[in-house]
Structure 1
């Protein structure tokens, strides 16, 4: 019974994490395919390789803030923001394969989503501290606000 409650509280985060793993595999496949098709010194290979490396550099930060936001505050808006981040990362990767300037919108969008997740983490931690040391629990109010605010991430 305890296992069901734990899984219930994290299953959306797990699903988004698995989607992100599939996306990483897709990116790696693109790099491998580009390396086999052409000489590894071509500009197309360098762009795909650089886009993959940039995505992998931000991946631990994404996972950390998404899981922290989901566990400390609410998994639904954190998972939704995680999915939006994956879309932004895909846009960044595909844009980088063209001209590097085409990747800027995806980068900026992803940065905004990471900022939202970071704020969710801070709010969740502050709410825990308020509840623990002062006795005031604002979790329901904050959850309502973050549920509504997460839809604002869709605005470009």
Structure 2
């Protein structure tokens, strides 16, 4: 039982972000459903929802890989920031499409950060496995500090 708790602690933050993202998807779907009667609004909401859903699998994959291969806390933090940005993008798309552009660009930056974390985590694992060099502690410190930079637009 103790072993199971240790395993859950290693992914708990990632699980929370994943569940919040699922709730956000429900919100988006309900918004699309509510706008069914208004053709113009429906097209905007539907397009915003489709765009968010297109990036969703990539976001989940890189967040989980970054969290498991490198460090859970910065990956979960980046995930929360991504969800806030995605919400801004979705709401911005309902107004003028140009309002959604900052959210879109910021979201791409966060996905790039998570992708970089994933690659560094995999490389560190390979270095440790084949060369006996483990830089995880150093890399986690750098990534933890760098994740704060995600707050700057």
Give your verdict on TM over 0.5: yes
Equivalent-residue separation in structure 2 for 1:99 and 1:76 (angstroms): 35
The structure 1 residue matched to 2:60, chosen from 59, 63, 69, is: 63
Equivalent residue for 2:110? 113
Give RMSD over aligned pairs: 0.6
Q: What do residues 104-138 of structure 1 show as CA deviations (whole Å, max 9, x unaligned)?
A: 00000000000000000000000000000111100
How far the C-alpha of 1:4 sits from its partner, in A, is 0.4
State TM-score, norm by structure 2: 0.98
| Number of the residue aligned with 1:86 | 83
Residue 141, structure 1, aligned to residue 138, structure 2: yes
The residue number in structure 2 matching 1:98 is 95
Q: Any idea what SS the aligned residue of 2:134 has?
A: coil
How far, CA to CA, are the matches of 1:2 and 1:120 in structure 2? 26
| Aligned counterpart, 1:13 | 14
- Give the count of matched residue pairs: 152
Structure 2: unaligned runs, 5 residues or longer: none
Q: Which runs of 5+ in 1 are unaligned?
A: none
> Cα distance, 1:25 vs. partner?
0.3
Using the TM superposition, give the Cα deviation of residue 53 of structure 1 relative to its aligned residue in structure 2, in angstroms: 0.7
Structure 2: distance between partners of 1:76 and 1:148? 11
Deviation at 1:43, TM superposition (A): 1.5
Asked if 1:152 is matched to 2:153, the reply is no
Cα distance in 2, alignment partners of residues 30 and 82 from structure 1: 22
| Of 32, 41, 44, the match for 1:44 | 41
Name the residue aligned to 2:26: 25
Output one character per residue of 1:57-103: Cα deviation in whole Å (capped at 9) or x when no partner. 11000000000000000000000000000011001000000111111
